[in-house]
Structure 1
Amino acid sequence: MTKLDQELIALRRQIHRHPELAGAERQTAGLVAEQLRAAGLEVTTGVGGHGVVAVLDGSADGPAVAYRADMDAVDARTNVLPIPRSGRVFDEGFASRAPGVEHLCGHDLHTAIGVGVARTLARGSEPVRGRLVFVFQPAEEPLRGARAMLETGLVQRLAPREFYAVHCSPFPAGTIAVSPGYGLPGLDHVRMVLPGGDESVAAAVASEVAALGTVEFPRSIDEYQARFQALVAPQIAAADQESVCVAHWTAQTADGHPATEVLLRVWPQERLPELRARIERIAVAAGGHVEHPVDPFPALVNSAELSTAAGQYLTTALGPESVVWARASWPFNCEDFALFLNEAPGAMLYLGVADTATGINGAPHAPDERAIGHGVRAMAGLLTHRLAVSRPSS
């Protein structure tokens, strides 16, 4: 393990010990900015809240390529995925010191890896051709941070040609999954306002919604891991997952009337109009109507071309045993990295953090910390490679 690996593990543990909710990432952003400035990057803070943007200009002309990491933690009391705790993390002296707030989704690793990539490339012996843009994003969990950063216009002015990110996953540490043309579901909120006075109506409507192709949310990290692995099993690795629709519903009231809140996680995104129409027909048949409180959130769609190119590079650089080809969408949360991919094509890659031999099942809050170094070396190499093979903008 290198000295940088050790320093990044210490950084990850410090962030894990002091997690901050969406919109409150002041200390985490300060740590990130301090390390990036020390590495010689040009750093802008306070971007869309506590966002940090750092620029590394190379010694030769070339395009701009961007890398994004998210920084916020979650409210563990309301987390929708009940992730079992692992003593490996919580007994080693760096458990969360913020009551009810924890890094359950791996953003502490994502941040440490992003810092490590920037530091590696800033001190590298090989000259960087072009510009590297590092985006450390707040408020990913509520899907606010990417939009807030983009609304400042800073990322667009830096004009990245391609955008990349990594997310922790239950694959073995040292492996990276790529999913060309696939990604994560979009999200849509639908409120079905139903006739009052009969709770059985809401129950019946909920039952009909459940029949719209629902994929139940995993109840534990072990169930999620099994489902995650099944998506890339060799026997289906070449088969497309054509659609995933995850629906949740809870009986609520709106203006004194019973209502059913439907939360749709939809893949592919093209299915959304059809599903909205079917839900509206169900509501109207029950004597009610449908409301859409917010606009739908887009699905994250990895560029087929750039994901394939990334997988090919990583296969050559790391060896074929280190790359998993996943031709399927993940039946999990949506991700606001989708908004950055609307600005420039790119990919989210899935970094393995599991080590089953030592009982580390890949839960993002309890990873094999050697994955940090794996992620840094993989992504530093990939970004350098992408700058080398991309032509400058005309």
Structure 2
Amino acid sequence: MTYQGKIDAGATLFQGAQVLLADQIVETSVLIEGGRIAEIGGTSAGDRVVDARGLMLAPALVDLHGDAFERQMMPRPGVFFPMDTAVLETDRQLAANGIATAYHSLTLSWEPGLRSLEQSRGTIQAIRDLAPRLTVENRIQLRWETFCFEAMDLIDWALQAPLKPSIAFNDHTTMGVLHPDVPIQKRPFDQAPDFPVADLHSPAFARKMDKRAKRAGVTEEEYAALIRTRWEKRPDVPAAIGKVAEAGRRAGVAMLSHDDTQPETRAYYRALGATVSEFPMVIEAAQAAREGGDFIVFGSPNAVRGGSHIGSLAAADMVEAGLCDALASDYYYPAMLAAVARLDAEKRAPRPELWSLISKGPARAMKLDDRGEISVGQRADLVLVDWPDQGTPAIRATYVAGRPAYAAMPLGQ
């Protein structure tokens, strides 16, 4: 891959690549100008030329839910790193993995520590302040814990950002108090009056809170006391959900429900304007989403590993069944490309359809109609992929609105 001309002005012409279009892969040229795709297969010349022979040119990735950034902020339990360092490192990981648009899944919780409102506000502010230095488009998914009533001011502030966030309705409080005899995939609608609850004062329940307590920087007993106090506020949750949903509708942002287990859950959030089902846990919830015309999202790590690590639906099966519109990085950025590679090897669908799961699909789910596919007029968010036959694909270069964000030349070339 060779570059000619300046990298900061004029048009760029990609030549010799296998170009991944909506329904086929063809060797053709692509001209980008003014940050957009200006021509496909034409005869126009570029001010600079990218010789992409032997590579695939594809739409850059759109990640609608990724929380791997938490590892940059707190690489070990209770060990925090400077916020600017964490944001800059995350941005470079995104670019290197071909992700041109990323929604950082930022949990707005009543917990102290990593997922506290103070930490969330600091993260959002750091991303805003560092925006001129970042290489890709860093957005926020406001992963709002529905019991965190005090988050409303932060949500209103975040919704005023030039790069609009999304809102995910997340209820890990109710999931946390679920009776141990009921699998999380079988739990009833979160608002059900007869929801089965564990003994919140038992030592077993405190032990169950171990991982959450470490993340929050408190003891198991202290965390158990915190969640008991929150659970007492359950009658106020529906009104809070309605208020947040109204704010999201006014702002025109994409809204999602998280870990749906019942058709009733999906119908409830759809009625509020949340038209994306994120990680449905059972087939009935996924089918309800499809029947309702909603977008369906699964995690890329699920597809890479051949199934859910917690025993929920297998993403690959959902792709093959037509019950998946997008794959998110979830907790590991490289998983998006790796998921497509495995699904492609397993012949779950044609490669252009599979690639859409990490580009056009998530873009449309997030109401971003200007990116996600290679067609004239679209934003020139592109990746060059080294994908040998029977081999593992790797990102060679990432372009964001026509601007080089990442480039790598292997030692063997």
Q: What TM-score does the superposition give when structure 1 sets the normalisation length?
A: 0.30
Which structure is higher in RCO with an 8 Å CA cutoff and minimum separation 6? 1
Q: What TM-score does the superposition give when structure 2 sets the normalisation length?
A: 0.29
